[in-house]
Amino acid sequence: MRSDRRTKPHPHDDAPDTRAAFERLAKLPEGPQRQALRDELIRVWLPMSERIAVRFRGRGENLEDLYQVAALGLVKAVDHYDPARGHAFEAYAVPTVTGEIKRHFRDHMWTLHVPRRVQDLRNRVRRASKELAQTIPGRAPTVEEIAAHAHLTPAEVRAGAEALECFTALSLEAELPGTDGYALGDAIGGPDPAFDTVVDRVAVAPCLQALPERERTILYLRFFQGMTQNRIAQQLGISQMHVSRLLSGCFAQLREEILTEETLTEAQ
């Protein structure tokens, strides 16, 4: 039987009349009696939470999992509802359950982290696309049409459209469209061994510039032109043994200067 105290009908015809039960719950102390009444209120309002969960099906989450999330929102609504404020429980519970489900999608369903602003754009673009699809048969709405309908800029529409794909991610083994067996993982680069030498080259550059011109020439011919010590000796008109001694002297000087620079840097 419905209560005569209700001034507005519930949105659902089968919404239970639990106002008196909530008023009694607010006065009961913690204990078995209060817990039993709380559990009963959750039970009778569970169909309402499941109706809300059904609205979100088809968005990448299992319906049974949505029921669980909605039930969690219902528990929170029952625990925090204050009948003394004069509002019907359903008016408080519906946004509470809906918010819990939306938080679930925001926090657990995105494969990539998407800013809240872009998530909002995604929802507006998705809604506008569905509405326009009913009035434009035979083709998908254009970016400009969606922008005008949703009161967005074309750039915002494109950002929202890209976010539509962020719930799921392709496997690295997935074949790229338009290719013959070329997987996404094949397009990802690997570590560049040259990166390990960048710091060393930067550190040694001032030391190389301080060397005499002949020593710099020998180092250039040996390590950048790939010439042997014998060919370098012939080109410079000196003996191969002299070239070897000059190289050894350069190495020792460069090593000492670099180690000294590292020691001074650590001391600072």
The domain that holds 256 is classified in CATH as: 1.10.10.10
Which long-range contacts (C-beta less than 8 Å, at least 24 apart) are formed by 255-260?
257/207, 258/203, 258/204, 258/207
Q: From first to last of the 268 residues of the chain, give the pLDDT tens digit.
A: 333 344 444 444 457 888 899 999 989 899 999 999 999 999 999 999 999 999 988 776 788 999 999 999 999 999 999 998 888 899 999 999 999 998 887 777 666 666 778 778 888 998 898 888 888 878 888 999 999 999 999 999 998 888 776 666 667 777 777 777 778 777 777 777 777 778 778 878 888 888 889 999 999 999 889 999 999 999 999 999 999 999 999 889 888 888 887 777 777 6
* Residue environment code for 28-67, b if the CB has 16+ CB neighbours within 10 A, otherwise e: eeeeeeeeebbeebbeebeebbbebbeebeeeebeeeebb
**pLDDT at 3 (0 to 100):** 38
* Host domain of residue 66: 19-108
**pLDDT at 6 (0 to 100):** 41
Q: Is 157 within the bounds of a domain?
A: yes
Lookup: tokens for 195: 């990166």
CA–CA separation, 13 and 40 (whole Å): 19
Q: Count up the domains in the chain and report the number.
A: 3
**pLDDT at 134 (0 to 100):** 86
**pLDDT at 5 (0 to 100):** 41
Q: Is 125 within the bounds of a domain?
A: yes
What is the domain-level CATH number for residue 34?
A: 1.10.1740.10
Lookup: tokens for 167: 């719930």
Q: What is the pTM of this model?
A: 0.45
**pLDDT at 81 (0 to 100):** 92
With contact defined as beta carbons under 8 Å apart, do 81 and 94 qualify?
A: no
Q: Classify 138 in phi/psi space as left (phi over 0), alpha (psi -120 to 50) or beta.
A: left
Residues 103 and 123 in one domain: no
**pLDDT at 1 (0 to 100):** 32
